Structure 1
């Protein structure tokens, strides 16, 4: 039995929980019970979970404790209860993508990523809220209500803040100590931007490193699962458990999974860090600019050489992304028609076409409908070449920019987001303003590169800011190591004051 009280247990991260369970300092069941209690206590205020699964967390913990009692080998995530973004199919537990159109859908199969985590000894605390179909940067498009960040501005105002998106339930839950880690997905920044907004760490691995099988699709050539946790080491541990070749995913990388945790090293001697001049934008937030300068100094201190690099097509990345991603979404979301599963809206006397229209009108939220319309338009006859084909050419040029930059450096350092967290409702009337949140994150997604956000400090309002490290394809180790160097020097220990 442990000497730690339950709040002490919920302050522990992945590595500390795994080690404590393995050494017998406390049981996996005690850990699960402590986090279950936090999930229940915070739900009304933060709305981070769509469904809580306390029994699943306890069952997994009991299995780990039983294995330990028998002296059997424990997995990489043994005894660690996590949150699962509600985009991953989980057998017997509702999976909705935060959309009314999938409300009540209970998969009879398990996503590859979640199955790997359960095999590694992790338990599930519940399914986390997100922007509907992962479309959003603020977690305000969920059918199940907004997620509220546990952070507050230090000006005494109580305006509820956005936890970032689309993995906002994941970021809020980790920051509020409802779980030590969670899965996220990143299509154009949906792991990195929420991590930056809530003072946690998250990595989008190289495209294809984690299987997309069993993950509700948004934009198939961009979607990539990754871990979100308190620190770099925890992300490395969890990514090892999540990654690996999957023959069920045609885009899966057939490569061995490196031992990222073992390879962690914050000494960057001999490494070059590129600073892209195009990311220094006019009117850049002063606090964001300062945190970037701090990051440059920290990486220099870690032994790295700072190199000025150019990514000339950066300004076209966001427009290209908002053609490619909606185009793929309009294709992927065509399957939600009211025929096979999920919502069916069948008006009296209607035909099949009427049912399609009524089901989609009732089932999809405004942002999802907006992106389907954009995507269908750019794929339509007469516009395909003008928009979609051009956007794909721009994507190739962006990937080439990165390849040329990486001839001069090993990793690239940039801000994660153009600002700290904004208030809920602040940007909802202006979709373009919301889309600009992705301006620093989208280029790495278009190029399929590994990229990570690490907390860098607080702005003048007392809100977290993140720094982004972008690496070469397959070089998650280089990204994690640069992240570790920043983490050790930033010494970010801030956490939200508990108001919920």
Structure 2
């Protein structure tokens, strides 16, 4: 994967051993000048632990190990300035205003975390490319704040990672690939509208995130988070074990691991809500039309939207406020294809808001929430118990919980979903239109093949089956549709879309909201995702806990709240009130546990027992155990370890 030369030093693998040791020494000297007695634990403990690992570095260590030791120490030192796992965007701006942090320093902090967690230790593979101009942008923002401190507000100077199907202008030096080898060298002439909005607000585009290839619409049976071009994204809570969710997988993993202040994903049906849920993030899928799709590699214009993914509701509200905006180039929305609402400039401006104004702990008071679907009490007792607990929290915050007339789930009142293929029909015409609209040639991974159609994508993939791990059956199916005006497939597509709208709106969400006088529908496990996607209606997902059942691996649990069109402000208010009352989110530990696992296996093979073994097992099975805690558990179980001769 080509990284390109940047002034960030992100390409640590290119360093010689001598240079790597020199860089490590510089960070060690910085650490030695810190009075750790004045630093709260566990931050001081993490620095001491990182320094302890440096002692195992010798002149014969590999560059990889030297850099890993340097990065671990760098990240531990940075956390003493600001804990990026916990800090909100408001916290960062307060520090900048106070002169305790610069945007340039903040960018370097995130680059160090990306290097450590994405490329060295747990190897999340969430970030596909770094913006070579990120540091220059940060310096520009710092200069602006020195001239006027009031600039340090909102998204100004805040590093954000965006999904790699969102177009960035060629001048930035980052391709827009959708994870496809056929689009590996696609450099659009202009930014996507949402990128323009971010730049206008002063946000720093830190880079792009890996994703499920073509927004998970290339084939059946592909793992969430996999792309032929960039490989597999891992979930930071339990890499390689927990599902990372799709298709905004890299945005989910990067957000959870605090590789940027906040991330941007896109959704057609679940691609923001799913990875947000799997990675214990707040995800908001907006009403289709609130955020322009212009310049984003499409899946289906009927349902596509971009949206924010953050570690808290406040940050999501900040980002959504700047992402929204009327765009005459988003022709599908402006044509009023939803058959009910013509989203023209006047209509959209009337519904756009400053969502931070709705961040209230009273956001649930007086709200009527309909239970769309409850967890199965018999087959998922821990999930059912967690749901009942959340319902009590909602009621304590002033919400009224409403069940269907028969006392059951509201989903049971709705007709069966229609068997439609809207996404397939849309994709055929939308991807072709996108490719044909590009003024610069789209080059494949061989730097020679020019992609001019969906069939060209399929043909190029077919010549590289050695790397096309899961095939391309969906692409092949879509290529067979005739979407010319008046064709049989076009007429069928219109019928299918009309059926989706009837089911999801008039006979679905709006039916329930009206019948029971509801403000929103609620449920676990993304139960409203599909019907809200068909309707184009907004949803927010908020962390409310973690699975406790044996074998569940501590998978995050979320409450999803779905409302009517353009009710994002209400959803944010309700989500914020729930978040503040629950206060449950825990950052992932992101520890490499290979050594600990080997020691546990050895202990079990000899029937060893005791508190050290118990502690080791607890650390191994915890998604929240830090590298320091894992290493300490390993040291305890391995008594009398002899340290090698050291260089430092």
RMSD, aligned α-carbons = 3.2
Q: Structure 2: 5+ residue runs without aligned partners?
A: 1-33, 44-76, 218-222, 335-342, 405-409, 593-648
Mapped pair 1:121 → 2:196: no
Mapped pair 1:447 → 2:548: no
Superposed, 1:77-156 pairs within 5 Å as 77-92=155-170, 93-135=174-216, 138-152=224-238
Contact 1:174 1:229 in 2 (8 A): yes
TM-score scaled by length of structure 1: 0.84
Contact 1:188 1:441 in 2 (8 A): yes
Range with greater deviation from structure 2 (360-369 or 214-223): 360-369
Distance 1:415 1:86, change over 3 A: same
Deviation at 1:499, TM superposition (A): 1.7
Q: Deviations over 1:200-238 (max 9, x none)?
A: 111011110011111111111101111011100110000
Which residue of the partner structure matches residue 371 of structure 1?
474
Mapped pair 1:46 → 2:124: yes
Range with greater deviation from structure 2 (111-120 or 68-77): 68-77
Q: 1:359 aligns with which of 447, 460, 467?
A: 460
Contact 1:317 1:395 in 2 (8 A): no
Superposed, 1:260-409 pairs within 5 Å as 260-267=355-362, 268-277=364-373, 285-309=380-404, 310-311=410-411, 316-317=416-417, 319-320=419-420, 323-334=421-432, 340-343=441-444, 358-359=459-460, 361-362=462-463, 369-375=472-478, 389-390=495-496, 392-400=498-506, 401-407=508-514, 408-409=517-518
Contact 1:171 1:228 in 2 (8 A): yes
Structure showing greater radius of gyration is 2
Superposed, 1:171-320 pairs within 5 Å as 171-250=252-331, 251=333, 253=343, 254=345, 255-256=348-349, 257-267=352-362, 268-277=364-373, 285-309=380-404, 310-311=410-411, 316-317=416-417, 319-320=419-420
Deviation at 1:386, TM superposition (A): 6.9
Q: 1:66 aligns with which of 135, 143, 146?
A: 143
- Once residues 355 and 390 of structure 1 are traced to their aligned partners in structure 2, the CA distance between those partners, rounded to angstroms, is 28
Distance 1:199 1:375, change over 3 A: same
Q: Is the partner of 1:225 in helix, strand or coil?
A: strand
Larger RCO, structure (CA 8 Å, separation 6 or more): 1
Q: 2:134 aligns with which of 57, 60, 71?
A: 57
- Once residues 165 and 318 of structure 2 are traced to their aligned partners in structure 1, the CA distance between those partners, rounded to angstroms, is 21
Q: Deviations over 1:391-434 (max 9, x none)?
A: 631432221121121222001111144xxxxxxxxxxxxxxxxx
Deviation at 1:375, TM superposition (A): 3.9
Distance 1:261 1:362, change over 3 A: farther
Deviation at 1:273, TM superposition (A): 0.6
Q: Is the partner of 1:469 in helix, strand or coil?
A: strand
Contact 2:248 2:272 in 1 (8 A): yes
Distance 1:493 1:61, change over 3 A: same
Q: Deviations over 1:82-135 (max 9, x none)?
A: 111111111132110111111011122111111111221211221100011111
- Once residues 366 and 60 of structure 1 are traced to their aligned partners in structure 2, the CA distance between those partners, rounded to angstroms, is 38
Range with greater deviation from structure 2 (12-21 or 404-413): 12-21
- Once residues 113 and 290 of structure 1 are traced to their aligned partners in structure 2, the CA distance between those partners, rounded to angstroms, is 40
Range with greater deviation from structure 2 (11-20 or 176-185): 11-20
Distance 1:23 1:406, change over 3 A: farther
Q: Is the partner of 1:234 in helix, strand or coil?
A: helix
Deviation at 1:259, TM superposition (A): 1.4
Deviation at 1:244, TM superposition (A): 1.2
Deviation at 1:367, TM superposition (A): 6.4
- Once residues 97 and 473 of structure 1 are traced to their aligned partners in structure 2, the CA distance between those partners, rounded to angstroms, is 28
Distance 1:193 1:287, change over 3 A: farther
Q: How many residues align?
A: 466
Which residue of the partner structure matches residue 434 of structure 1?
none
Deviation at 1:471, TM superposition (A): 1.2
Q: Is the partner of 1:47 in helix, strand or coil?
A: coil
Deviation at 1:295, TM superposition (A): 2.4
Distance 1:317 1:235, change over 3 A: farther
Q: Structure 1: 5+ residue runs without aligned partners?
A: 153-157, 418-438
